[in-house]
Structure 1
Amino acid sequence: MFPPIQNLRAFVAVANTGQFRIAAEQIGVSESAVSHQIARLEAQMGVQLLERGRNGAMLTEVGRVFYLPVSAGLREIERGLQLVNQDKSNIVTISAPQTLSSLWLAPNLASFYEGNPSVELRVFATDRICDLKNEGIDFALRRSTGDWRGCNQEPFCDEEIFPVATKALSVQVRELGWQRAFQVIPIILNEAHVDEWERWSAEVRIPLADNMKFRRLSSYDQVQAAVINGLGIGMGRTPLCLEALGDGRLHRIGSQSCATHAYQLVWPSDRRTHSRQRAFLNWLRKMKPDRLAKGIHTD
């Protein structure tokens, strides 16, 4: 007997993200539901597929063997459904990295729906490099690395990094100067980009202190939330921090920045483009983030 498809989807989502919480958000159920679905899958198969730990979940050796055909099979099922329904529906699908989806794309979607109320957007928030053609995805926003053969591609926006903090901490940095601030104010380190402070320091020629107090977090969304709540100084990333800069929850400290990656807008070149896809493409082009966006607070 085949395992229920919802259990397989939960397993693949956790395998892709390494986190039960993020997997639950992606497939639209609770974290406890994901845990129970995977437990039932493992019980039915009689094997352990995931190793649970304090920092998330990792595939076991058996899990790695199981993951490849199951994830490919689920993609084929979804592709089949999309191919059957693509001319009947008003769905537009876009794939984007998780942090870009939650911190930039989702907050701006209301402006698309205002002009296109009949179009349904389906956002696949994943850091996996998707096969747009075979997975039936209309558009992708990706960092410049990747094999985009058979696709149209155009620059979307640059990613730059620079220190950010609350208004109070940014004023304190200005009063103390960087060297003293590095000694007395906690610095938040994004473990997904452990070299970001060194890169910024080398680019803008502001030396780091020897005795800096780092508070480590595992992803950018955690860093930004911690900075907004006053935990310390973090490294902001455009376009992820633009909304928080614009509404004053974050303040940019100084004008020095360091360029890192560039985001690309990608879509299949051999697929028929319907009016709904053209509308979304035009909207994305108009919404390209500007690193000098109006309303950004700089101290």
Structure 2
Amino acid sequence: MKLPPLKALPVFEAVARLNSFSLAADELAVSQSAVSHQIKQLETYLGEQLFWRSGRTLSLTDEGRQYLDAVSSALLQIERASEQLLGHEESRLRLSVFSSFAVRWLVPRLPYLQRLHPQLDLALEMSSGNPVLSDRVADCFITIRTDAPAFSYDKLYEERLFPVCSQDYWKRMRRELGRDDQLEVRDEPPLSPEELARFPLLSTHSIFDRATGDWQAWYDAVGERLPGGVRVQHFSHMLLALEAARFHQGVALTNDYMLSTRRDSEDFVRLPSHSVATGDTFYFAWKTSRRQERGIQTLRRWLVDEAIRSRLRAS
């Protein structure tokens, strides 16, 4: 087995992560010249330049970035394997997760996870978009991308949107539409798209990355066009649109995981109308080479079980 200078690998990882020879030297408690020597030794062995150096600026080359992904993963696996043999039961994991999914679905369930698996030390990394799937970012991910070949995926949820409003706003809508206010929502006749267009629509830009894209998709689903005179209030994120709906400002389109707690079910009314699929499917993703790690598999099984229990995913 032909291996590179093994002492140089943690040094390379530290320099790349901290983007600094001096900071890496401080972290590793060695001199800066010792760090430089280890990096030079590794570059000589590989026959590739790993860093671009320009004055005080340091950056990874393309070859260095590719090598870092492999080295970081290998060092993490060595650390996890050693912890298991040493009898350290605690599993430390970084989970990268969309902010809305974290706030509305995951965080309220964390106390249950902690009671069930107290050995699991979970750190959440908030993601506003699709993160790069890499050990440098997190140990595992909740993502809608499945194009990273080094990763495995388990489906959690296929997103669909449906209209909601506050309890008080639904009473107002009933009055203006001349509906019987004694009926339960489940017994109500469906709202037509024309009826809904009489009220302010709260739109989330980030769902389809275009203005009013969510409501256009909802109307398209039944072969109709969004009426030209409809009042639309725009929001960048579904969390904001849903809060506006909570405070009686109109009707918002939301999904199942945003209304997954008892408080939400009491605050909001799901209107009697159709839903529309966004085309996004949420997956739990982990590095295939790390599939034997106890912590990752514990978290994977718990997430899938919770998705089934909360009816995000069919059993």
Matched, 1:220 2:241: no
Q: Partners of 1:266 and 1:174 in 2: how far apart?
A: 44
Aligned pairs for 1:249-288 (under 5 A) are: 249-260=267-278, 261-271=280-290, 273-288=292-307
Q: Which moved more, 1:205-214 or 1:79-88?
A: 79-88
Distance apart, 1:247 and its partner CA? 3.2
Distance change >3 Å, CA 198–CA 159, structure 1 → 2: same
Aligned pairs for 1:78-89 (under 5 A) are: 86=80, 87=83, 89=90
2:160 maps to 160
Count of residue pairs brought into register by the alignment:
226
Distance change >3 Å, CA 199–CA 245, structure 1 → 2: farther
Distance apart, 1:273 and its partner CA? 2.8
Q: Partners of 1:174 and 1:81 in 2: how far apart?
A: 61
Distance apart, 1:128 and its partner CA? 3.9
Matched, 1:130 2:132: yes
1:30 maps to none
Aligned pairs for 1:125-274 (under 5 A) are: 125-126=126-127, 127-132=129-134, 134-135=135-136, 137-143=138-144, 145-174=145-174, 176=177, 178=192, 179-183=194-198, 185-193=199-207, 194=211, 195-205=213-223, 208-243=226-261, 247-260=265-278, 261-271=280-290, 273-274=292-293
Question: 2:96–2:124: 8 Å Cα contact kept in structure 1?
Answer: yes
1:58 maps to none
Question: 1:191–1:218: 8 Å Cα contact kept in structure 2?
Answer: yes
SS of corresponding position for 2:261: helix
SS of corresponding position for 2:290: coil
SS of corresponding position for 1:270: helix
Q: Partners of 1:280 and 1:265 in 2: how far apart?
A: 9
Distance change >3 Å, CA 111–CA 241, structure 1 → 2: same
Question: 1:226–1:232: 8 Å Cα contact kept in structure 2?
Answer: yes
Deviations 1:208-260 (A, max 9, x none): 43211111111111111111121211111232232267531221111410011
Distance change >3 Å, CA 207–CA 248, structure 1 → 2: farther
2:117 maps to 116
Question: 1:141–1:265: 8 Å Cα contact kept in structure 2?
Answer: yes
Q: Which moved more, 1:172-181 or 1:145-154?
A: 172-181
SS of corresponding position for 1:154: strand
Unaligned 5+ residue runs, structure 2? 1-17, 20-56, 178-190
Deviations 1:48-68 (A, max 9, x none): xxxxxxxxxxxxxxxxxx998
Letter in 2 for 1:226: A
Distance apart, 1:277 and its partner CA? 2.6
Distance change >3 Å, CA 180–CA 280, structure 1 → 2: closer
Identity of aligned residues (%): 16
Q: Which moved more, 1:284-293 or 1:91-100?
A: 284-293
Letter in 2 for 1:270: S
CA RMSD across the alignment: 3.5
SS of corresponding position for 1:290: coil
